[in-house]
A and B are shown apart, each in its own frame.
Chain A
Amino acid sequence: MGGMDVLKIEALGKAYATAEGRVEVLRGVSLALAKGESLALTGESGSGKSTLLHLVAGLDRFDAGEIWLDGVAMSGLSDAGRAAVRRDRIGLVFQQFNLIPSLDVGANLAFQARLCGRHDPDWTRELAEALDIAGLLQRYPEALSGGQQQRVAIGRALAARPGLILADEPTGNLDEAAADRVMALMLGLVAKTRASLLMVTHSERLAGRLDRRVHLSAGRVSG
């Protein structure tokens, strides 16, 4: 793999067994992401975008091909090894925010950074101010609007300064104005941390704001 690639995927294959038989979700997908680069993954529903993101995050195992993250092959990692990769190298942002309901915003924001032992209070404070959530740190997720929750989720993903941000429809639950604002914040902070970004989106408009775009169709890269 190239020396500058944070992420490299080669001939990735993934299938699920269903009641109707075996369904191939990904069929030989290959792509690469350089340090500091942002890439939009677009495609129809069921094209395999989210599955690809989950495989990169080590949330699921693939059947064929390989994923290298900072030069480390994911296929050779155990469950604990993949958990460590997620914890130490990746920041995840989900469409439904997936904050931890039992922790307040401050604890949610710092949660992953504390897990991997890279909690930096100054950076966390800076993030909170940049994301305009500094006044919400004592609140619990249930008391926040969707836009506020997503800004907390983005802050959580960036708090440990990971090399790679994986975002799955991060603005899918927000109205257009809120989506634009959240997107601008995320891209600005990703650029500031020199992280790479792989983002799944349906929106052509948002995809256009990233460095590159890859289109998936029926489990294959089509453009």
Chain B
Amino acid sequence: MTWTALSALMSHWRRHPLQLILMILGLALATALWTGVQAINAEARAAYDKAATVLGGEGVNRLEASTAPLTMQDFARLRRAGWPASPVIEGRDRTLGLRVLGVDPLTLPQTAVPAGMPGVGAGDLADFLAGKLGYASPQSVGVAVPGVVLKPLPDLPPGLVLVDIGLGAQLLGVDQQISALLMDSVADLPGPIPAGMVLKRGGAELGLSRLTDSFHLNLTAFGFLAFVVGIFIVHATAGLAFEHRRPVFRTLRAIGLSSRLLAVLVMVEMLVLALIAGALGVGLGYLVAGALLPDVAATLDGLYGASVPGSLSLRPGWVLAGMGMAVVGTGVAAGGGLWQVWHLPPLETARPQAWAKARARMDRVQAGAGLALLAVAGGTLLVGHGLYAGFAVLAGLLLGAALVLPWVLARTLRSIARRARPGLAQWFWADARAELPGLRLALMALLLALAANVGVGTMVGSFRATFTGWLDQRMAAELYLNAESQDQAARMQDWLAPRVDAVLPVTLVERDLLGQPGRIYGVVDHATYRDHWPMLEQVPGVWDLLHQGKGVLVNEQAARRSGLALGDPLALPGGEVPVIGIYSDYGNPEPQAILGIAAFQARFPEAKALRFALRLPPEAVAGLSADLTRTFDLPPEAISDQATIKAFSLQVFERTFAVTGALNVLTLAVAAVALLASLLTLSGLRLPGLAPVWALGVTQGRLAGLEFARSVVLALLTAVLALPLGLMLAWVLLAVVNVEAFGWRLPMQVFPMDLVWLFGMALATGALAAAWPAVQLYRRRPTDLLRVFASAR
């Protein structure tokens, strides 16, 4: 009996292959976008883990500076006091584009030695200590480090070179400074932790992972949004399949099938579909991730300096998670129908009004839940803190608005229908309202996709406008020049003095700032800074105070992360200085500070000025570049003009948002499929409502046109509601999420053309989804419409 009943249930899909295709497609698309994002995150996290465990991971503790930077003298002092510490220097060599890790192999704890690296006594050790040998991942051994032979070490992450600490200091341009002291985590501490230092236990989160968490959370949020949109398709299709099969359920119950067995059979059927669609979705997700990963890798490199391989590996974690999400998604989407199959009495199952009443109750509950979610979002906005609170606000806003949408649309359509001219126009609006229950899930999906498009579009647009203006201010100099040595730098300055309006040395040191790797600059007193520097907050006479050594400027992210305000002291080597200005510094994850050149040189006498910003008339740039190259025999990378730097910065910016843009478009595509799925499955159910109108003298062509217009109007009404929701979303992204994730806040700007674009997209989505069902109606044979009257008998 079980098999007979199951085959009776499954026969529905044979008779309605389109429903089957849409159900599997919806679930596969939902799973694909989710899995794609998870695959990207898994790849990136694996790269961070590799980076984090280069020097032993959990087996190694780190002593780090809490105030002044650590130096080799600190190392020597601790060793003399019996601490089994080993110095390490870390940083990024901007010229080579590599992360440099310098270690002392003679003192390195055994647990910190990467597998394959020669220990004390090995033949290669002498070359390593002499700075002639280094190690890199097999992908990075091709990078040219002058005078150094790189050997492959599979345990190293891509983009990192492991060298002796002496060579590391040389590559990073530091002298006595070190980043941390490593110790075996099982070794007892010989005494209390020295003043000015903190102990970080092995396995503690590395800065890189912490920095990029917000980016991955962003991706996950988008992946989840796409998944939710996809689940709407499955819910719509599964719901229709349940409604279509009401007579079958009734018959099966009537011939003696228990409600429990019937529910189990439906569950088995859904599970089989979920597994098929899940497998398809995981495969599609792999393709999506493969297509997006190069952009993600570029973004992570550009934003955080994190090296992630551009190619994808198949990892069991996200494959299984994808299949699991497909099954869970199907359970959520089909749960309501299943509950009804299980709990409604046999005769009740066949009475449409019982189902309709149950659905009406659900709609009211849904609208109430939506309002509650909106209230929770508002409350979280007022009292919540942190990135997760930001995402909770976003989730509450989106889901709340989606749940309230059917109620709002129904009220709107009823109000329009009341005011419409009686006759065909009134029928058009009244029927649109009657069609709502069948389309509500698809329209909710469309609302989410459109709002996400407005929100992210407005955020990116605001960011682009601010970033472009900021670049103009920040990159005020016409030409930037890199010298190879101090000697060359001095000769260049002499040569340039009579040829340009000003030579502005760019002097900097890389130091820990507010507990993170950062940079400190020294600037000369010049109108270029006074007139152009993008200050967000400043005390009166900020530039005079700066050059009198009475204050320091910090970038916005440093100020926000550490809660620094004007007047607060900032701990720097050589003593605290009050913050007298905060400037915007978009696209930079690191904290940064600026001192007047005299104060800077007093604190960092070892810093070398090898970089210069040159002021000269724009028309003289090309000629001067050529003269400089010829005179000093400079390589092309030694000179950058303003336009090139701006173009590069904008390119990094565009790539940063390429992934969210792609996910946005994919989400909208999924919503279009949801709408198409609902319209196609509804087209058969709507015939009894349309046939009388046709019989009363409205042509099939006109009916098809009205059906098309109705779907487009519903999409546009949804877009009207998506607009304020999207703008709210943008505000939360700019004022809450970005501030938490990146450390900067951008002014929100609304772009009317983007909003026109939104309506265009809604129109296109509605039109694309409605076109085929309308054509089908137009082409339908009159006998199909007549059957409505015949089947009444």
Binding site for B on A (CB under 8 A): 16, 50, 54, 57, 59-61, 79-80, 83-88, 92, 94-96, 98-103, 107, 110-112, 114-116, 119, 156, 168-169, 172
Contact = CB atoms under 8 A, between A and B. Distances in A.
B430 A57 contact: no
B430 A83 contact: no
B701 A95 contact: no
Contacts of A115: 423-424, 696-698
B618 interface: no
Given A87-B696, A92-B696, A169-B793, A100 B782 contact: no
Contact of A94 (B424, B694, B783, B792): B792
Contact of A86 (B431, B688, B689, B696): B696
Interface in B652-690: 688-689
5 contacts: A60-B783, A83-B699, A100-B692, A107-B427, A115-B698
Contact of B424 (A61, A79, A95, A114): A114
Interface string B438-475: 00000000000000000000000000000000000000
Contacts of B427: 100, 102-103, 107, 111
A16 B426 CA distance: 37
B693 interface: yes
Contact of B430 (A84, A99, A103, A169): A103
B422 A110 contact: yes
Given A102-B434, A115-B423, A168-B789, A59 B695 contact: yes
A116 B698 CA distance: 10
A107 B691 CA distance: 17
Interface residues of B, number: 31
A87 B697 contact: yes
A85 B696 CA distance: 9
Given A59-B695, A96-B792, A102 B700 contact: no
Interface centre among B430, B695, B699 (most CB of A within 10 A): B695
Contact of A101 (B434, B694, B790): B434
The 6 closest A-B pairs by CB, nearest first: A87-B697, A96-B792, A114-B423, A102-B434, A102-B430, A98-B692
B793 A95 contact: yes
A87 B692 CA distance: 12
B782 A103 contact: no
Given A94-B789, A114-B424, A115-B424, 19 more contacts: A50-B793, A57-B695, A59-B782, A83-B699, A87-B697, A94-B792, A98-B691, A98-B695, A100-B427, A100-B692, A102-B433, A102-B689, A107-B430, A114-B423, A115-B696, A115-B697, A116-B697, A119-B422, A119-B423
Contacts of A84: 697
B257 interface: no
A79 B780 CA distance: 13
B786 interface: yes
Contacts of A116: 697
A168 B792 CA distance: 11
Contacts of A112: 696-697
A28 B692 CA distance: 28
Nearest to B413: A102
Main secondary structure of the interface of A (DSSP, over half): mixed
A154 B585 CA distance: 76
A107 B696 contact: no
B395 interface: no
Contact of B785 (A59, A85, A100, A103): A59
Interface of B: 422-424, 426-427, 430-431, 433-434, 688-689, 691-701, 782-783, 785-786, 788-790, 792-793
A15 B46 CA distance: 71
Contact of A95 (B422, B433, B694, B792): B792
A139 to B, nearest CB: 14
B697 A83 contact: yes
A86 B702 CA distance: 15
A57 to B, nearest CB: 7
A142 B693 CA distance: 17
Interface centre among B433, B694, B696, B786 (most CB of A within 10 A): B696
Nearest to B692: A98
B422 A50 contact: no
B434 A99 contact: no
A50 B788 CA distance: 13
Contacts of A100: 427, 430-431, 689, 692-693
Contacts of B788: 98
A50 B783 CA distance: 12
B689 A79 contact: no
Contacts of A94: 692, 695, 789, 792
Contacts of B783: 16, 60
A86 B793 CA distance: 22
A88 B431 CA distance: 23
Nearest to A156: B696
Contacts of B422: 107, 110, 114, 119
A79 B700 contact: yes
Contacts of A61: 782
A103 B693 CA distance: 12
A208 B785 CA distance: 31
Nearest to B695: A92
Contacts of B782: 59-61
Contacts of B699: 79-80, 83
A84 B696 CA distance: 9
Contacts of A95: 789, 792-793
Contacts of B424: 114-115
Contacts of A114: 422-424
A80 B688 CA distance: 21
Contacts of A87: 696-698
A167 to B, nearest CB: 12
Contacts of A169: 793
Interface centre among A61, A80, A85, A88 (most CB of B within 10 A): A80
Contacts of A110: 422-423
Contacts of B698: 83, 87, 115
A111 B696 contact: yes
Contacts of A101: 434, 689
B792 A88 contact: no
Nearest to B432: A102
B697 A88 contact: yes
A98 B423 contact: no
A78 to B, nearest CB: 9
